[in-house]
């Protein structure tokens, strides 16, 4: 009997990747972990209390004075590059579970207007440019546009007012766009707004144009409906499906329950950190073999809100949960893997994700002691490590090229 638990601290980076400044040169200074620790020490008059993360080796990956530089736990520690374009939660989790995102690109809608227009017209829709801007008005009711709340070119949206048409029609248009879109996600969004959506269109960064969704009132007007349409993936060759196919119970917690595919998984969607941790501990206590993938979303939300103190408070809450998990996962073959999906530095001066390395901290109760691991090229290495720990054949993962030192450390 063995359990493997992956805890993804959403938006938890440990320093900028070399290409972090390609879009915003200032992002080369990004360091979510270090800047949160620095700010919280100043604001609270004390360092953050992160004994569990320290024991798992975070201070060995990020040598900050507020983090322990040694550990007595049997852990393997290192960092991982993201292994996908940009810095995105959906792409991060899919890559982590073994997907190959090498064909996914970062692109503005304006660079693909002809292909998108042709696909929509072939599906019977009326399509026109909105006021000469690089976004499309479909059937006079739905806007197809760049997503202004993520890094430019990461995602596109199909947005409509539910006052004008049902969400199913918005979703149908989004699916047509998805069929030709090269980006990681096309997001169907329906909500209530007082004015026509054209009133809320504005330019974004790097030549993007889109709907200012917060200004539209979609988030506050009630009845919001959203569906994420990811790039085409072979989910049968991702970690959750491989585990379920081998008879291993799979539980997906928090945002992982919303964005990962596995027909047989137990899903525990939640946003609150206390609830995410409670569901994760419940799954571990259930007994027997298990794969649990949990996402702590509130760190990412604090990053978007540029609320450094809130980020630190959530980290302390996560740390307490990790201490409880470490105590439970003490059997031969048990594994606790703590990582991130990208950075989200709340001190960087904008509300976008930051392209950072993420920690990979692996607790191995049956290992002899500490092991340092070289940087991995991709988050897919995390999924490979989990597959090995569960006795699965890593050749079944779509992105088999990412198997390096950590899969051997499993």
Asked if 97 and 124 sit in the same domain, the reply is: no
Distance of CA 358 to the CA centre of its chain: 12
The 10s digit of each residue's pLDDT in 114-131 is 999 999 999 999 999 999
Element (H, E) at 40: helix 32-44
Write out the DSSP string of 113-171.
HHHHHHHHHHTT--EEEETTEEEEEETTTEEEEE-TTSSTTSEEEEEEETTTS-HHHHH
pLDDT at residue 402 above 80? no
Half-sphere exposure of 352 (CA within 13 A, CB side): 24
Asked if 397 and 274 sit in the same domain, the reply is: yes
The 10s digit of each residue's pLDDT in 62-87 is 999 999 888 989 999 999 999 998 89
Mean pLDDT (whole number) for 231-248: 90
Asked if 170 and 291 sit in the same domain, the reply is: no
List the Cα angle 17/49/81 in 5-degree steps.
Answer: 15
Residue 136's φ and ψ, nearest 5 degrees, are: -115, 135
Residue 122 class from Cβ within 10 Å (0-12 exposed, 13-18 middle, 19+ buried)?
Answer: exposed
Query: Of 210, 230, 250, at which residue does a domain stop?
Result: 230
What is the tally of structural domains in the chain? 2
Domain containing residue 38: CATH number: 3.40.720.10
pLDDT at residue 405 above 50? no
How confident is the model at residue 292, as a pLDDT? 98
Asked if 138 and 36 sit in the same domain, the reply is: no
Q: Where are the beta strands (DSSP E) in 53-99?
A: 75-80
Mean pLDDT (whole number) for 187-200: 96
How confident is the model at residue 399, as a pLDDT? 73
Asked if 200 and 271 sit in the same domain, the reply is: no
Tokens, residue 286 = 């259930």
Radius of gyration of the chain from Cα atoms?
A: 21
Asked if 222 and 246 sit in the same domain, the reply is: no
Query: Of 230, 256, 285, at which residue does a domain stop?
Result: 230
| Positive or negative: CA dihedral 190, 84, 77, 252 | positive
**How many Cβ atoms are within 10 Å of 366's Cβ, its own excluded?**
12
The CA distance from 32 to 232, in Å, is 31
pTM recorded for the entire structure: 0.86
Asked if 178 and 53 sit in the same domain, the reply is: no
Query: Of 186, 212, 230, at which residue does a domain stop?
Result: 230
Asked if 267 and 386 sit in the same domain, the reply is: yes
How confident is the model at residue 325, as a pLDDT? 97
pLDDT at residue 404 above 60? no
Element (H, E) at 5: strand 3-9
SS3 for 158? strand
Tokens, residue 69 = 């530089």
Asked if 160 and 271 sit in the same domain, the reply is: no
The CA distance from 342 to 354, in Å, is 7
Q: Measuring CA to CA, how many Å separate 279 from each of 33, 253, 296, 343?
A: 25, 7, 11, 24
SS3 for 191? strand
Q: What angle separates helix 273-285 from helix 308-328, to the nearest 10 degrees?
A: 10
The CA distance from 192 to 205, in Å, is 25
Q: What angle separates helix 113-122 from helix 167-178, to the nearest 10 degrees?
A: 120
Do residues 379 and 359 lie in contact, with contact meaning Cβ atoms separated by under 8 Å? no
Asked if 226 and 81 sit in the same domain, the reply is: no
The parent domain of residue 342 ranges over: 3-103+233-409
List the Cα angle 358/359/361 in 5-degree steps.
Answer: 150
Do residues 62 and 34 lie in contact, with contact meaning Cβ atoms separated by under 8 Å? yes
How confident is the model at residue 410, as a pLDDT? 64
List the Cα angle 186/228/155 in 5-degree steps.
Answer: 35
pLDDT at residue 284 above 60? yes
Asked if 220 and 255 sit in the same domain, the reply is: no
DSSP bridge pairs for 6: 293, 337
Asked if 201 and 261 sit in the same domain, the reply is: no
How confident is the model at residue 231, as a pLDDT? 79
């Amino acid at each position: 009997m063995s359990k493997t638990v992956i805890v993804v601290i959403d938006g938890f980076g440990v320093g900028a990747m070399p290409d972090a400044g390609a879009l915003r040169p200032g992002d080369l200074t990004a360091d979510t972990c270090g800047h949160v620790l620095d700010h919280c020490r100043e604001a609270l008059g004390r360092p953050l209390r992160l004994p569990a993360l320290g024991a798992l080796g975070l201070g060995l990956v990020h040598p900050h004075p507020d983090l322990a530089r040694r550990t007595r736990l049997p852990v393997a520690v290192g960092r991982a590059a993201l292994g996908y374009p940009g810095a995105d939660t959906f792409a991060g989790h899919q890559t982590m579970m073994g997907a190959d995102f090498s064909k996914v690109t970062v692109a503005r809608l304006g660079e693909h207007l002809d292909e998108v227009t042709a696909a929509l017209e072939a599906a019977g829709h009326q399509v026109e440019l909105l006021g000469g801007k690089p976004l499309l008005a479909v059937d006079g009711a739905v806007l197809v546009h760049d997503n202004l709340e993520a890094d430019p070119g990461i995602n596109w949206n199909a947005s409509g007012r539910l006052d004008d048409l049902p969400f199913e029609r918005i979703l149908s248009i989004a699916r047509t766009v998805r069929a030709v879109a090269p980006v990681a996600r096309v997001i169907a969004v329906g909500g209530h707004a007082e004015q026509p959506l054209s009133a809320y269109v504005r330019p974004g960064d790097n030549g993007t144009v889109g709907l200012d969704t917060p200004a539209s009132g979609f988030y506050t007007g009630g009845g919001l409906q959203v569906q994420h349409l990811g790039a085409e993936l072979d989910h049968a060759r991702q970690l959750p499906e491989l585990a379920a196919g081998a008879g291993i119970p799979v539980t997906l917690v928090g945002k992982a329950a919303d964005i990962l595919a596995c027909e047989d998984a137990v899903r525990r969607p939640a946003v609150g950190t206390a609830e995410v941790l409670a569901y994760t501990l419940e799954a571990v206590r259930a007994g027997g073999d298990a794969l649990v993938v949990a996402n702590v979303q509130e760190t990412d939300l604090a990053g978007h809100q540029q609320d450094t103190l809130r980020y630190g408070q959530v980290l302390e809450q996560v740390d307490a949960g990790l201490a409880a998990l470490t105590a439970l996962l003490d059997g031969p073959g048990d594994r606790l893997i703590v990582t991130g999906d990208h950075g989200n530095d709340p001190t960087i001066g904008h509300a976008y994700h930051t392209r950072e390395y993420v920690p990979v901290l692996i607790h191995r109760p049956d290992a002899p002691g500490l092991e340092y691991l070289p940087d991995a090229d991709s988050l897919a290495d995390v999924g490979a490590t989990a597959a090995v720990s569960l006795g699965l054949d890593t050749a079944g993962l779509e992105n088999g090229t990412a198997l390096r030192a950590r899969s051997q450390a499993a």
